[in-house]
Amino acid sequence: MRGREKLLSHPHPELGPPRNLVEGGLRITPLGGLGEIGRNMTVFEFGGKLLIVDCGVLFPEEEQPGVDLILPDFSSIRDRLDDVVGVILTHGHEDHIGAVPFLLREKDDIPLIGSKLTLALIEAKLQEHRIRPYALEVKEGDRERIGPFDCEFVAVNHSIPDALAVAIRTPAGMVVVTGDFKMDQLPLDGRLTDLPTFARLGEEGIDLLLADSTNAEVPGFVPPERDISQVLRQTFAKAEKRIIVASFASHVHRIQQVLDAAHERGRKVAFVGRSMVRNMGIARDLGYLKVPGGLVVDVKVLDDLPDEKVVLVCTGSQGEPMAALSRMANRDHQIRIVEGDTVVLASSLIPGNENAVYRVINGLTRWGANVVHKGNAKVHVSGHASAGELLYFYNICKPRNLMPIHGEWRHLRANAELGQLTGIPKERTVIAEDGVAVDLVKGVAKIAGKVQAGYVYVDGLSVGDITESSLKDRRILGEEGIVSVFVVVDSTTGKLVGGPNIHARGSGIEDEAFAAVIPKIEEGLSRSASDGVMETRQIQQLIRRSVGKWVSDTYRRRPMILPVVVEV
């Protein structure tokens, strides 16, 4: 096979802003989800109107300390929110709905379109933000006119019920967005990916297919979700004390299997964590989660039950620091892990979370827990189509143009190659990245330019105030520590009249050691005063250079140097 670089068209870093969309053309601009796992959001433009598909979050990695969530950048559409005719939500996972509250803070009457469960999950989240959205509930087979966009909704199987793909028809052509999907032929809820409808759309003519790339590197087909049931039953049968299962708070199918296994063993189940309690309550009320009477109890009741009759279901399968499981591993939770407990991590590892997850596994093991995870038992199957399923899918859909979405660069490229193998021309395969606009004009999809699509960080109540420079400072503080230098200078002469007083935190350097650098600071300040340098900023720079060079030469470290200059 020829090299991938020769097979694919891709954007270049020098791309400028896209020109005005030609009349009758359709513009597709991903603002998240390309080159990353999460933050999925794509904007469609036709006839002066905008349609958004998904609006999700990305979860921070270790090099983003203090960040709670990462949002798509709305700046390219902020001045055009009145043109947005709706937000279609393909399913209820956080990486597809988590940023909706932040978008609706900017304009709270943008209509939301989605399935019953998806809308129920986002509406519960919006209540916390005191936003009451306008919502249009749809189901597979429905066809709705949303502004100039004619949208048909198609059932797809995923790791959450009620997932939908959407076919978007405009005079420029038909675009199909798969959302996240797989082809489980034995789904727990009997809801198959609707291949006959996709075949019908293919016969009608799919001008551009936006296809999930997450598992494009994985050969073959994803095993059925029900395969996990037997492993869970065996794990529950062997467990001598409590069983703690960690899963995504929206993985209804997985939780259903946990409930079934617990019921068979005569155990009671308690949900731990606000999002888990909320989401499972919604799923049960809407009939997506079948709960036998008396099986689920409040966590407060567990103290009255013997350990061998207890199952806890919590969040934290990705090693999130504030999630219940991580806090249990760190002995920072009311539930204390003891010798003989069994912990099941019933999910995959999201790329980038490996270290955090293994820290949690080691912490749980330290306290005597038997930890069952994907590495030593089949307790997870993916919710995304593997290479074999994607090939099958492309042969059914026969798209004229292909644009891989939802994945890191390696996933996007692998997915594009799969499309090439099924006969999609190389010049009709478009690999884009966040912010790259792709225009569909006269049946051909081409890159048209690039808009701003950076990370927007959420830190507590702060949204967008944290910059890359701020994160760099945080990383320096975390890795190298801080050295503060306090001096008092005469405002008239610039001469030193007090200090320097030097204190270090987190640098591993004792305060007394800085006695060696004080003469260098005094000498530098004396020289600067003689030269007439009296501006505070210049004095701070002189101190920063003197102390920084001494620390680097002496300790090979680069802490943050914080000079404080007081003029008298």
Residue whose C-alpha is closest to residue 312's, from 382, 364, 366, 377: 364
Q: Which residues pair with 498 in a beta bridge?
A: 488
The torsion of the CA quartet 255, 117, 71, 179, rounded to 10 degrees, works out to 90
Work out the angle between the directed axes of helices 252-264 and 227-238 (0-180°, nearest 10): 40
Residue whose C-alpha is closest to residue 342's, from 361, 357, 315, 319: 361
Provide the pairing of β-strand 370-372 with 342-345. parallel
Q: Where are the alpha helices (DSSP H) in 350-491?
A: 354-366, 387-397, 409-421, 468-480
- Is 95 known to sit in a ligand binding site? yes
* DSSP H or E run through 209: strand 208-212
Residue whose C-alpha is closest to residue 31's, from 8, 56, 12: 56
- Is 517 known to sit in a ligand binding site? no
- Is 275 known to sit in a ligand binding site? no
The residues near 382 (Cβ < 8 Å, ≥ 6 apart) are 159, 182, 214, 215, 218, 222, 348
- Is 406 known to sit in a ligand binding site? yes
Catalytic residue set: 212, 384
Q: What are phi and psi of 113, to 5 degrees?
A: -125, 125
Before 321, cis peptide (omega within 30)? no
- Is 68 known to sit in a ligand binding site? yes
- Is 281 known to sit in a ligand binding site? no
SS3 364: helix
Q: In angstroms, rounded to a whole number, what is the distance separating the alpha carbons of residues 251 and 378? A: 16
Q: In angstroms, rounded to a whole number, what is the distance separating the alpha carbons of residues 161 and 171? A: 32
Q: What are phi and psi of 404, to 5 degrees?
A: -65, 140
First to last CA, the chain: 74
- Is 253 known to sit in a ligand binding site? no
- Is 503 known to sit in a ligand binding site? no
- Is 96 known to sit in a ligand binding site? yes
Q: What is the identity of the amino acid at 479?
A: E
- Is 250 known to sit in a ligand binding site? yes
- Is 380 known to sit in a ligand binding site? yes
* DSSP H or E run through 200: helix 195-204
Residue whose C-alpha is closest to residue 95's, from 153, 14, 148, 163: 163
DSSP annotation string for 458-521: EETTEES---HHHHHHHHHHHHH-EEEEEEEE-TTT--EEEEEEEEEESSS--GGGGGGTHHHH
Provide the pairing of β-strand 26-32 with 268-272. unpaired
Numbered residues of the known binding site for Zn(2+)? 91, 93, 95-96, 158, 180, 406
Numbered residues of the known binding site for substrate? 249-251, 380-384
Numbered residues of the known binding site? 66, 68, 91, 93, 95-96, 158, 180, 249-251, 380-384, 406, 459
Numbered residues of the known binding site for Ca(2+)? 66, 68, 459
